Amino acid sequence: MQQILDLHIHSKYSRSCSPELTLENIDAACRVKGVDIIATADFTFPEWFLDIKNKLALTAAGSGLYKLKSAEDDKVKFILSTEVALIYKDGGKARRIHLVIHAPGLAAAEELNQRLDKDFNIRSDGRPILGLAAPDLMELCLSIDRKFLIYPAHIWTPWFAVFGSKSGFNRMEDCFHEYTKDVYAIETGLSSDPEMNWRLSALDKFTILSNSDAHSLPNIGREANVWEMENTSYEEIYEIIKNKIIYKDNPPSSPFIKGGNVGIKYTIEFYPEEGMYHYDGHRACGVSFTPEQTKKHQGICPVCKKPLVIGVMNRVDELADREMGFKPETAAPFKKLVELDKIIAEALDIKSRQAGKVQFAYRDLIQQGGNELNILLNIRLEDLAKMADPAIAEGIKRVRAGQLIIKPGFDGQYGQVKIFSEQEKKKSKQKSLF
């Protein structure tokens, strides 16, 4: 059974996140988006963890996945997840990294919370800041339960990532030390895609995950993982990630999961240029540079004369031992998407994706197509043409084909993705192009 997983989001208790991020609203948003397994987010925050315990129930005995008690079905399943910010010194340098943690059950999550609460402040933010080194966090989690999953979040972003240019490391082993063997995955983050990560042979052994890191309901599922699953349990998720099981049509039986036809089919990706840290630059100075331009300026901003914020593309170039375009034999494919309401807004030439006309068209399409990811990924173009405004159908077609105009993001500023040129928009006002 195909399942779409988004394993990293936030709750209303995380800083700079929407107050609409409640368990009930997350469940509802997943049904519209087409996400089957979603992170609870922020289980380290006491008030949110109380909500999790009171409002969720196991989908089945021993499954390790949860559903809303008030829901009529378990279409949407929750996996216990949180993100923590570690700030500490290692190798004579200040380190700031974010890690995603998945707990195998409520008892394990609750014990971790109690242990952290003794020494750190987990009550001020849904994503707690811990003065704890990565190996020490690994040791703590695994001493509670060997089935905890811990892996680096948005692995390349400058400020808070394992490979970040500002406070990261050059190797996974430099960060996790002897616990590197217990790290089974990496998260691409919005500013990189699997192809960029394939450039580092040292990452071949890790399962590549893509998650939304959503801070609001509309962003759920903007990156996700499409898997084939049999048991739909935490144990199965753990085994697929740990053993990097890639789905193939009619594969031999997996040595780890009985039955065989399970594993990662593909990941759903943001266009990495749209991410906030794809290029180098200074937002305040309006300077956005490719790695080549940065090298030409010796890493210095030509406006303020201070060091540039080095983005993901440059950092990948620095650490890569392969050329762009290399694909490991064990790699799962990926598909790049633009969110449906963004496509609709541009097709209708409306600036805000929250505009009434955009949301009306969005709801109409969801009613016809079942959910957003089904519309973006699966429905035939000829059928879309019957369901949607011609410009919207053309927009979806272009996104699928990668025919976009993109201005890359830099220094915390999202990139701009355009589907239609300004010339096309001018002509369309005079006469429909589609």
SS (H, E, C) 363-407: HHHHHHHCCHHHHHHCCCHHHHHHHCCHHHHHHHHHHHHCCCEEE
Superfamily classification of domain 2-274: Metal-dependent hydrolases (3.20.20.140)
Q: How confident is the model at residue 427 (pLDDT cuts 50, 70, 90)?
A: confident
Q: pLDDT, tens digit, for every residue of 277-336? A: 999 999 999 999 999 999 999 999 999 999 999 999 999 999 999 999 999 998 999 999
In the chain, domain spans: 2-274, 339-430
Let me know the angle formed at the C-alpha of 167 by 331 and 308, rounded to the nearest 5 degrees.
95
Residues 211, 213: Cα–Cα separation, whole Å = 6
Cα separation of 45 and 130, whole Å? 13
Cβ neighbours, 10 Å, residue 324: 12
Q: What is the per-residue DSSP string for 147-207?
A: T-EEEESSTT-SSSSTT-TTT--SSHHHHHGGGGGG--EEE--TT--HHHHTT-GGGTTSE
Give, rounded to a whole angstrom, the gap between the first and last alpha carbons of the chain.
37
- Token duo for residue 128: 């707690």
pLDDT tens profile 75-84: 999 999 999 9
Half-sphere exposure of 417 (CA within 13 A, CB side): 25
**Residue 256: which pLDDT band, with cuts at 50, 70 and 90?**
low
Three-state DSSP class for 57?
strand
pLDDT tens-digit series, residues 120-139: 999 999 999 999 999 999 99
pLDDT in the model for residue 7: 98
* C-beta of residue 151 within 8 angstroms of C-beta of residue 100: yes
pLDDT at position 106 is 98
Measure the CA–CA gap between 218 and 206, rounded to whole angstroms.
29
- Residue 239 and residue 202 in contact, taking contact as beta carbons nearer than 8 Å: no
What does the pLDDT look like over 156-213, one tens digit per residue? 999 999 999 999 999 999 999 999 999 999 999 999 999 999 999 999 999 999 999 9
Q: What is the pLDDT of residue 397?
A: 97
Higher pLDDT, 423 or 323: 323
Residue 251 has pLDDT above 80, yes or no: no
